Structure formats: C-alpha cells, structure tokens
Amino acid sequence: MRFGQLKDELCHSTGDEEVVHPQMLICLLLLLAVQRADDGALFQCQTNGARVVYLAGDFNEWARNQGGRITDPAFAMTESNGVWRKVVKLDAGTYHFKFNFNGESTGWFAPDSIDECDADGNALFRVKPGGEVVVRSSLSPAWKSQRTQSGVLFQLHAPDAFIVYLAGDFNDWAKNRDGLVSDPKFAMQGPNSDGVWRAEVELPPGRHAYQFVIDGDKWITDPNADERDADGRSVTEVK
C-alpha cells in the first residue's frame, strides 16, 4: 500500500469537514519544535492539513484545555506559508509541551524532532539563564541521507527505538498493512553507539519519497531531509 492510499483510508469526510485519524496526524505534522528568539522561545510547527494549531504546555496551563479540547484563541499559533509560529517569554527552567491539531482531544502531538519526553509523551526542553534553548534533537547534518558508491544511505537518530523500518516508493512502502510494518527485510541496522539507525539502498536516478517507521507503527518524516512532497513525505533525489 502506498502512502497516498493509506492516507485515503485513514481520512474520511463527515459533511463539509474532513476527519483525520489520529495515526495520520503523525504523518501530516512536520514539526520544527522550539528554538531561541530575541524575545523568548520560538515554537514552530509545519503542517499541510491544519485549520489551526495550538501550543500547550506547563508554561500556559496546557492551553486551559477542557477534556483535551482547546478553543481559546489566545493559545493559537500564527500561520505563514504553512508554518505555524508562536513566541513565548520564559524564565530559566525545564518545560514540557505539545502541539494540538485543530483543538481536538485526539490532536495532541509532541514534535518528532525532540528526543526527550516525559512519561506522558510531552516534549521536554530547557531554557538557560541567558535565554538559550536546549533540546535533545534528531537534527544533525551528519545524519542526512547521502549518496554512496552503491546507492543512498538513509539515517535516523532514534536511540530509544526498538526497531526502525525504511518505507518508500522504492520498496512498496515496506509492504505495510494498514500502516503497520513487520517485515524484517525493511528494517534498518542499528542503533550504533550514537543512537543512529542506517540503511543503504540502491536507487535509480530520480526523485524518491520515503518515511521512517519506528517500532512498526509510528510513521515519521526524515527530520534532516531538505525537501518534502505535497503529502508531507521526505524526498531524496538521485542524479
């Protein structure tokens, strides 16, 4: 099953509103997380399917949600060119947060690019006394996919994963069944001492879409990919 087919199965319409299965939100949200800004901590979230994205954390009473639903526009992020942003002034300390997609009780997601989470799955980051924002992140130029003599080397920093699969248009999306991957021939090797998983694949010239699948059911984009397609999938190009 291709990603597009999987998306069609996980999304359905009720009247004029498209309902997105919670599993699909993981695929649609391309999360840029948090970094230092001149006037505080800048939170960013890129998505191709949201009507609104809220920022919720222990620094804003979790957006004063009611039963997981958020309606207060004070906690909404501002969208520009598909990227939602919000700056929050924070004192030094450790903070927990998630993004919320469309204010729904099923729309809570921590950014995949932050590796450190608490027991409830909330992303963690720290603000130093000077205002520097510190996160444990999977972003690193050293982990970008790269050409080799025999193909393309795909890499993902996921030290806590039990297994990571590589799925793309070049392997029939790891022959997943309703989003689940279990065939060991699509498993990446790892993790190494740095927590990085790797898979080298011979690919023909052209553009190739792909994703990583953590523990068989969590589909994520490559946080180090330079390009994504219209469906939010990472893209690598072989020339």
* pLDDT tens-place string over residues 135-149: 877 777 778 888 888
DSSP class of 195: S
How many C-beta neighbours within 10 Å does residue 90 have? 17
Question: pTM of the prediction?
Answer: 0.54
- In the chain, % of residues over pLDDT 90: 54
State which fold the 141-238 domain adopts. Answer: Immunoglobulin-like (2.60.40)
- CA 25, CA 23: separation in Å to the nearest integer? 6
Measured in Å, how far apart are the chain's first and last C-alpha atoms?
Answer: 26
- CA 190, CA 157: separation in Å to the nearest integer? 10
Instruction: State the span(s) of the chain assigned CATH 2.60.40.10.
Output: 11-134, 141-238
CB 206 within 8 A of CB 212: no
- pLDDT tens, N- to C-terminus, the chain (239 residues): 333 333 333 333 334 443 443 333 333 444 457 888 888 999 998 877 789 999 999 999 999 999 999 999 999 999 998 889 999 999 999 999 999 999 999 999 888 778 778 888 899 999 999 898 888 777 777 788 888 888 899 999 888 899 999 999 999 999 999 999 999 999 999 999 888 999 999 999 999 999 999 999 999 989 888 888 888 899 999 98
Class of domain 11-134: mainly beta
- CA 94, CA 32: separation in Å to the nearest integer? 19
Locate all alpha helices (DSSP H) within the chain, ordered by sequence. 3-10, 22-28
How many C-beta neighbours within 10 Å does residue 188 have? 21
CB 200 within 8 A of CB 148: yes
- The pLDDT of residue 239: 87
- The pLDDT of residue 65: 97
Reported in sequence order, the residue ranges of 78-229 that DSSP labels E, i.e. its strands, are 78-80, 83-88, 93-101, 108-109, 123-127, 133-134, 146-148, 151-157, 164-168, 196-201, 206-214, 218-220, 227-228
